[in-house]
Amino acid sequence: MTRTVKARREVVLSAGSINTPKILMLSGIGDPQHLSKHGIPVIRSLPGVGQNLQDHIVSRVAMFTIDRQVGVPRDTLNSVESGIQWIANGSGPLGWVGVAEAVGFVKTKYALDDWPDIEVGFSSVPINNGAADPGTYTQEMKDMLNPLSGANGFSISTVLLRPRSSGYITLQSADPYVDPLIEPSYYTHPDDLKTMIEGLKMSLRLGYASGFKEYEAQLAPEVYPQCKQYPLYTDEYWGCCNQVFGTTIFHPVGTAKMGSAHDPMAVVDPQLRVHGILRLRVADASIMPKLVSGNTNAPCIMIGEKASDLIKSSWNM
């Protein structure tokens, strides 16, 4: 069934950094060559649609074993008793703040300026605890962690805050029900992997800090068979580990970036209006020209609030 919806004033597209470029391209707005490949009539040539994809990649290689249980076992977290304790007085395992109880922002020698380029996050959950699984672990990653299943420990994640690499979103088909292709292109810029190696070394040093000595903290046994060709604990080894055990933390931005009409890759102007298309704006993380050095939730709220002000101003509301 086909439904037609009309707007009296304008349309605001807010589908996120993956689906916003998909919808734009399906609507005939994007790279003419790519659209023609899928038989989509070109309404507006904007080759930047779907390009400039940036994301935060995280490495959870710094896993440590300890001599006692101090984290949150999954069976305890999911128990009826924990639920009753939380409902009754707001305490217990369900009061756990999540997989990053503490975070820090640091600068490596590869930073371009005084801004931090690495985030480290501490998690007290036992190793290979399902409660710590962010949902992005591949089966290969889970298989690597199996030898550590149930071990007491903690992990310190390393996040690349300011990637120099960028990827892209493309269509697989003109069918709107077919998912787009996502190519994040992590580590295509050599400095990104170098930065992550330095960040991982910082995370490892934290794991051996004096505060953890009473727990006999030790780096978890080597669980990266794909990296055995490199000498253990060298930069080459850590670089391989970062690539094997790296994953997204769901912060994609930039695929409909904001910029002037003179920028051939810009998709929206400073008013968030799509270049060359009347009464169409984009209001989500896709408009960010550069990835922020932190979580994207607050910036997305800000974009929404700013878009609201811009719309009201345009229509004298």
Among the listed ranges 101-110, 130-139, 279-288, which one has the minimum average pLDDT value? 130-139
Residues 92 and 79 in one domain: yes
Strand duo 29-30 + 57-65: pairing: unpaired
For the chain, how many structural domains are there in total? 2
DSSP run (H or E) holding 299: helix 297-314
Beta strand segments in 48-110, E: 57-65, 102-106
Q: Which two tokens stand for residue 76?
A: 């305890």
Does position 129 have pLDDT exceeding 60, yes or no? no
Q: Which two tokens stand for residue 152?
A: 């007491």
Residues 298 and 236 in one domain: no
Does 229 reside within a domain? yes
Residues 103 and 38 in one domain: no
Of 248, 272, 290, the residue at which a domain comes to its end is: 248
Pairwise CA distance, residues 219 & 232, whole Å: 13
DSSP assignment of 223-272, as one string? --GGGTTSPTTSHHHHHHHHHHTEEE-S--B-TT-B--TT-TT--B-TT-
Residue predicted with more confidence, 198 or 77: 198
Range of the domain at 73: 57-168+186-248
Of 167, 172, 176, residue with least CA distance to 23: 176
Residues 79 and 154 in one domain: yes
Does position 315 have pLDDT exceeding 50, yes or no? yes
Does 3 reside within a domain? no
Does 261 reside within a domain? yes
Give the count of alpha carbons within 13 A of 200, CB side only: 27
List 22's β-bridge partners, or say none: none
Strand duo 11-13 + 280-282: pairing: parallel
Residues 151 and 88 in one domain: yes
Does 4 reside within a domain? no
Does 176 reside within a domain? no
Query: What is the mean predicted confidence (pLDDT) over 254-273?
Result: 97
Residues 48 and 63 in one domain: no
Does 297 reside within a domain? yes
DSSP assignment of 167-222, as one string? BEEE-S-S-TTSPPEEE--TT-SHHHHHHHHHHHHHHHHHHTSGGGGGGT-EEPPP
Check if the beta carbon of residue 204 is closer than 8 Å to that of residue 218. no
Instruction: Check residue 74 and give its pLDDT.
Output: 61
In b/e form, how buried is each residue of 101-111, taking b as 16+ CB within 10 angstroms? eeeeebbbebb
Does 152 reside within a domain? yes
Residues 77 and 211 in one domain: yes
List the catalytic residues: 251
In this prediction the pTM is 0.90
pLDDT band at 191 (very low <50, low <70, confident <90, very high): very high
Q: Work out the percent of the chain whose per-residue pLDDT is above 90.
A: 70
Does position 53 have pLDDT exceeding 90, yes or no? yes
Residues 238 and 277 in one domain: no
Q: What is the pLDDT of residues 67-95, one digit of tens each?
A: 887 766 666 767 888 888 889 988 887 77
Does 63 reside within a domain? yes
Residues 267 and 292 in one domain: yes
